[in-house]
Amino acid sequence: MEILKLLGILIVVIGFVLKLDSILIIMVAAIVTALVSGIDPVTFLETLGSSFVSNRSMCTFIIVLVLTGTLERNGLKQAAADLMAKFKNASSGLIIGIYGIIRLIFGAFNISVGGAASFIRPIVMPMAQAIAEKDGHPINEEYLEQLKGMSSAMDNVAWFFGQVLFVGTSGMLLVQSTLADLGYEVALIDLASVQIPVALIATATAIVYYFIKDKKLAKKYVGGDKA
Partner 1 sequence: MISPIDYFMSADYTMSDKLLEIMYFLLGLISIYVAIRNLQDKTNEKRIGTFIFWFLLGLMFVLGPWIPSMYTGILMFLMVLSPIFKQVKAGSEPSPTQDEMIKNYKKIGFKVFIPALSIGLFALAAALFTSISPLFGMGVGVVVGIILLMIFSKDNKPIVFLKDGRRMLDIVGPLSMLPTLLAALGAVFTTAGVGDVISDLVSVIIPEGNVVIGIIVYAIGMALFTMVMGNAFAAITVMTVGIGAPFVLAYGADPVIIGSLALTCGYCGTLCTPMAANFNIVPVAVLEMKDDYGVIKNQVLIAGIMLVVQIIMMIVLS
Q: Of the two residues 210 and 222, which places its CB atom closer to partner 1 in the complex?
A: 210
Least distance to partner 1 from the beta carbon of 5, Å?
Answer: 5
Half-sphere exposure of 132 (CA within 13 A, CB side): 31
> Residue 209: exposed, middle, or buried by beta-carbon count in 10 A (0-12, 13-18, 19+)?
middle
Compare residues 149 and 223 and give the one whose CB is closer to partner 1. 149
Do 158 and 113 meet the contact criterion of CB atoms below 8 Å apart? no
Identity of the residue, 196 or 219, whose beta carbon is nearer to partner 1 in the bound complex: 196
DSSP string of 6-43, one letter each residue: GHHHHHHHHHHHTT--HHHHHHHHHHHHHHHTT--HHH
Compute the least distance from the CB of residue 224 to partner 1, in Å. Answer: 25
- Complex with partner 1: residue 55 or 90, whichever CB lies closer: 55
Beta carbon of residue 122, minimum distance to partner 1 (angstroms, whole number): 10
* Phi-psi category of residue 20: left, alpha or beta, with phi > 0 → left and psi -120 to 50 → alpha: beta
What separation, in Å, do the N-terminal and C-terminal C-alpha atoms of the chain show? 73
CB of 48 to partner 1, least distance (A): 4
